Amino acid sequence: MTGKSFSTLTDTASRLTSLHNDMNGTADDQSLTFTHNPAGQISTGINSNPAYNWDGAGIASEDYSVNGLNQAVQARAFLVPFEPEICS
């Protein structure tokens, strides 16, 4: 991987505190910094490159029909096959 490197730092408890991806050119570089709570769970994460930020899931709204067992039988204009031997 010429021109690319990956590095990490950990704290004294071996928890990930920093992760750096150094890609070709600086526009694609990314550094992530983490802090942890007393239970060892990641409590904050900071991303240095907004190009990698997740902008959230889109709102999904689909019309669908269900049968008396609350099983989807139609989504939009498509029938949803139900095979009892698979779903039981």
CA nearest to 7, candidates 21, 26, 28, 27: 21
Output the six-digit token pair for 87.
């779903």
Cα distance between residue 49 and residue 20, in whole Å: 11
Which pLDDT value is given to residue 23? 87
pLDDT digits (tens, 9 = 90+) for 42-77: 999 999 998 888 877 666 666 778 888 877 777 766
Q: Tell me what pLDDT residue 1 has.
A: 44
pTM confidence score = 0.56
The domain locations on the chain are 5-52
CB atoms within 10 A of CB 33: 15
Report which secondary-structure segment, H or E, holds 34: strand 30-36
Mean pLDDT of 22-37: 90
> What pLDDT, on the 0 to 100 scale, is given for residue 25?
79
